[in-house]
Amino acid sequence: MTDKITRENIGAPNAPFYTPIQNPPPGTFVKTTQSNGVIENIPSLFTPLKLRGITLPNRIALSPMCTFSAQDGALTDWHLVHLGQFALRGAGLIMVEATAVTPEGRLSPNDSGLWNDEQIAPLKRIVDFVHSQGVKIGIQLAHGGRKASTIAAFINVKALGNNVKYSQLLPEEFGGWPNDVIGPSPIPWDDEHANPKELTIEQIHEIQESFVAAAKRAEKAGFDIVELHYAHGYLAHEFFSPISNKRTDQYGGSFENRVRFGLEITKKVREIWSEDKPLFVRISATDWVDDEDSWEIKQSVELSKLFQALGVDLIDVSTGGNTPKQNLAVKDHFQVPFAEVIKKNVDINVATVGLIKDPKLANGIVENGQADLVFLARSFLADGNWAIRAAKELGVLIQTPVQYNYAIRSFL
């Protein structure tokens, strides 16, 4: 009898532990929950999205979120639980937080990293678990540029002095590297950040190759997607924007020169990243600065066209982060209009992010063609069951792990 039960309850393939096959994967539309059993169309938020050789079961993605909890760049059991929970709760895609391609590219000493081979195994453990549930997972590769060597968001900083605050420069005696912070030009983000050293051409090429090496390690870890982080005032964005890039060589001045750094990385990564796996790029569509020459939506549209020509599959549209002068009014859905502009002007998939809370409004973003994918960060942290609740509010039932189905469906 035991042998028969075992044969009829085959575990998920390639999982290093027993777990039932989740088929279809969590987050997949199952049926309508309307009383008459009739639904004309599946809500757009719960339609699949095909990107090269992978298909996401819905348009809800866990956004990359810095948690400042790694050890020497390596992720831990905390990350396994933090990220793994969303594989059980209906997210169509899970993204690992911004992962530095060099030690000096970290924002804080506790950032995720992928600059050496020892960091592959902890990531692979997370990837293997997520895959065991039939869910797709990606990783965001980043370099903090002039915003590196800062204090993590939740760290108690009283030991540093009474006037120290989050994101301020972290000195060497507390694990920082203030003398090794770099940027396209020697312009600090503000008075409380490092004075960055201007990158030489040789150093630029070394960092570009660090992105390539990190992407190769991501391949070894088994990731389905790589996203290049070119937003939020980090290194690539610093090159893009004339606020932070005052160079006079081939990496500064004109639009073509300022975007060269990011385009060269993208081309190199696309060449070594598996042909059947998608490549994402996150950008800040605007600096939110009107009174000086800055980065804005028209340039983002043109850059997105160049990314599309290089084989990028999706533009993840955020905004801001490159200057304390930004005139940024944070409110619900405040970045959606920028994603919509790129979606309407570039033949490429587009994602949006930023205080998206209401499921019906999120569904409308996809239904109205403003974006193809919705990234959630704080909404998922506040409610790990956001996707399940969204399905209920939109009148449908989605798949959950077979171990959870009875309990969850009995509450809906």
Looking at domain 2-407, which of 3.40.50.300, 3.20.20.70, 3.40.50.920, 1.10.390.10 is its CATH number?
3.20.20.70
321 phi/psi in degrees, rounded to 5: 100, -5
Per residue in 41-66, pLDDT (tens digit) is 899 999 999 999 999 999 999 999 99
What are the Cα distances from residue 228, in Å, to 115, 237, 307, 391? 15, 11, 11, 30
Global pTM reads: 0.94
**What is the percent of the chain where pLDDT is above 90?**
83
> Catalytic positions, please?
234
* Mean pLDDT on 69-74: 96
The pLDDT of residue 40 is 65
Q: Given pLDDT bands bounded at 50, 70 and 90, which one contains residue 35? A: low
Per residue in 257-307, pLDDT (tens digit) is 999 999 999 999 999 999 999 999 999 999 999 989 999 999 999 999 999
Cα–Cα nearest to 227, from 327, 314, 311, 117: 314
What are the Cα distances from residue 399, in Å, to 54, 79, 124, 188? 18, 24, 25, 48
Domain positions in the chain are 2-407
The whole-chain average pLDDT of the chain stands at: 93
pLDDT of residue 324 exceeding 80, the answer is: yes
**Is the sign of the CA dihedral 52, 53, 54, 58 positive or negative?**
positive
